Amino acid sequence: MITRKQLFVDGIFRQNAIYRQILGICSTLAVTNLLSNTLVMTLGLTFVTAMSSLTVSALRTVTPPRIRMMVQVMIIATYVIVIDLLLQAYLPEISRRLGPYVGLIITNCIIMGRAEAFAAKNPPWASFLDGLAMGLGYTMVLMGIAVVRELVGFGTLFGVTVLPAGFTRWTILTMAPGAFFMVGIVIWVMNTLDPPSKAGAPR
């Protein structure tokens, strides 16, 4: 049995979804050009991961094994629809900017990965914490990338101009290639600071 502290250390650092497991990269690249988009996206993903891990785990003894994947996908889709309707109602501007990427939380590999690897064989409360920790690990990396991309690419933070007008913007960081380079650099830096150990292979 893993302790609660261990769950969080694993989810946020040792087994970080982005730079260690290379999962959920699509949204990492797509939404990180602006901090406000990123914040909403990470909150949404953390909520969906935690809640669907909780639900998958609570239903794990009554789910027929043959249709397990389908049941998991439907549970995840339910929470994503909730998030999508909330965003359309209260944050229409951000909902429009995120476009299809809210719906794509359903196929985010992190959520299915946690449902299969953890929630399907652990009790509900531990699964909820595991999902929460994975979501926080994702949040940490995305917010870090978004700060750099918005600051250097647009000269703003949360839409507020912070860099002097004379600063030459690195437009490349706001475009697709810049997103790939940023993720590559994060993987590089984090693997240097915290080298993956053989013993810590994904469970």
Partner 1 sequence: MMHSQLSAAVILFAAIFTNNVVLSNFLGLCSFLAVSKAVKSSIGLGVAVAFVMAATAGLNWLVYHHVLVPLGLTYLRFAVFILVIAGFVQFVEMAMERLAPALYFTLGIFLPLITVNCAVLGVALFMVIREYSFLESVAYGFGGGVGYLVAIMILATLRWRTRKSKVPPALQGAGIAVIMSGIMALGFVGLSGLITIN
Instruction: Name the site residues for partner 1 (rule: CB under 8 A).
Output: 22-27, 29-30, 69-70, 73-74, 77-78, 80-81, 84-85, 99-100, 103-104, 106-109, 112, 175-181, 183-184, 187-189, 191-192, 195
CB of 81 to partner 1, least distance (A): 6
- Tell me the C-alpha distance between 177 and 139, whole Å: 21
CB of 102 to partner 1, least distance (A): 9
- Tell me the C-alpha distance between 95 and 25, whole Å: 20
Burial 32-55 (b: 16+ CB within 10 A, else e): bbbbbbbbbbbebbbbbbbbbbbb
CB of 1 to partner 1, least distance (A): 29
Cβ closer to partner 1: 118 or 126? 118
CB of 144 to partner 1, least distance (A): 15
Give, as one character, the DSSP assignment of residue 198: S
DSSP output for 121-188: GS-HHHHHHHHHHHHHHHHHHHHHHHHHHHHHHHSEETTEE-S-TTSPP-GGGGSHHHHHHHHHHHHH
Cβ closer to partner 1: 34 or 183? 183
Residues present in the chain in total: 203
CB of 25 to partner 1, least distance (A): 4
Cβ closer to partner 1: 162 or 175? 175
CB of 3 to partner 1, least distance (A): 29
Cβ closer to partner 1: 7 or 83? 83
- Tell me the C-alpha distance between 143 and 162, whole Å: 17
Give the bridge partners for 160, in sequence order.
Answer: 157
Cα within 13 Å of Cα(27), Cβ side: 35
Cβ closer to partner 1: 8 or 103? 103
Cβ closer to partner 1: 162 or 189? 189
